[in-house]
Amino acid sequence: MIDTQPFISGSTARVLAFAAHPDDLDFGAAGTVAALTSAGVEVQYCIMTDGDAGGFDDRDPDETARLRHLEQREAAARVGVNTVHFLGERDGFLEPSHRVMRQVVRLIRQMRPQIVLAMHPERAWDRLQRSHPDHLACGEAVTRAIYPAVENPFSYPELLSEEGLEAYKVPWLWLYGAPKERENAFVDITGYFPRKMEALRAHFTQHPDVAAMERFVEQQCRQNAVRGGLSEAHHAEAFHAVPVNADDTIAGF
């Protein structure tokens, strides 16, 4: 089990968080994000699709996308995030293509974060809804981008020659929405749980039954706390934390 407290309390300056759709980060990591920003960490979001296929109203997809951009910016603000990037991919059609990966590499080299958050690229069979194909594609694109492309100056060389974005070695990759057997890091978000819920409520187009959503999130976060060694009175978010460039890392191994 990885102790997450040092990451929250002082060793982290910047975090870049990726999601497939507006609201994915709020379900998976908004409490952790609130803890980070409250500690003075700069967090930026990157949402890969416009969420144009989401919602329960008979609404034009372009209008849905417009509303979901607004919802995500508001949700981000509620947990202390001021910058939200949108890649503009079509909801339901996200692929770990070189077009997407190049944009991921570009953002990581620009920000040079200590931690990158992303959705998990492996399917969780106990709850298939966690593993929407766009979620898996998000995780795969970010994982492929982090190693080796972000740290290889010969990957997308125009980023260096045209924009001056030098190669960068990402220290940590934290994946959320992981299969339970992969989870090895739990963040106590008890004090930030109300802000997580406020962020989720901002996605008004996505919740036909707000009370049911809140009960589900409450239950999941309490279960995470118990699995992370906390009491049932706590709330936690769970991650598969991967050290990408640790002290003992050798290139290519």
Bridge-based pairing of strands 42-49 and 172-176 is unpaired
What's the pLDDT band for 56 if we cut at 50, 70, 90? low
Residue 196 has a pLDDT of 97
Does the structure show a pLDDT above 60 at 32?
yes
Range name among 94-98, 103-107, 133-137, 206-210 with the lowest pLDDT average:
206-210
Query: Is-contact 22 205, C-beta < 8 A?
Result: no
| Sole residue written with tokens 């299969």 | 179
Does the structure show a pLDDT above 70 at 77?
yes
**Which class for 176: exposed (0-12), middle (13-18), buried (19 or more C-beta within 10 A)?**
buried
What's the pLDDT band for 191 if we cut at 50, 70, 90? very high
- The residue-averaged pLDDT of 223-230 equals 96
Does the structure show a pLDDT above 80 at 58?
no
- The residue-averaged pLDDT of 215-220 equals 95
Query: Is-contact 21 49, C-beta < 8 A?
Result: yes
The pair phi, psi for residue 18, each rounded to 5°, is -110, 145
DSSP-assigned letter for residue 52: T
What's the pLDDT band for 76 if we cut at 50, 70, 90? very high
pTM for the model: 0.94
pLDDT tens-digit series, residues 113-144: 999 999 999 998 887 877 899 999 999 999 99
Range name among 12-21, 56-65, 69-78, 218-227 with the lowest pLDDT average:
56-65
Residue 253 has a pLDDT of 52
Residue 37 has a pLDDT of 98
Percent of the chain with pLDDT over 90: 79
Q: What is the mean pLDDT of the chain?
A: 93
Residue 188 has a pLDDT of 98
What's the pLDDT band for 36 if we cut at 50, 70, 90? very high
Which one is predicted more confidently, 10 or 23?
23
Residue 116 has a pLDDT of 98
Please, what are the domains in the chain? 5-243 (3.40.50.10320)
- The residue-averaged pLDDT of 189-216 equals 92
Tally Cβ neighbours within 10 Å of residue 16. Answer: 25
What's the pLDDT band for 251 if we cut at 50, 70, 90? low
5-14 as b/e, with b when 16 or more CB fall inside 10 Å? eebbeeebee
Q: For residue 104, what are the contacts with CB-CB under 8 A and spacing of at least 6?
A: 18, 46, 141, 142, 145, 150
Residue 54 has a pLDDT of 67
- The residue-averaged pLDDT of 134-162 equals 97
Which one is predicted more confidently, 36 or 129?
36
Tokens for 64? 């849905």
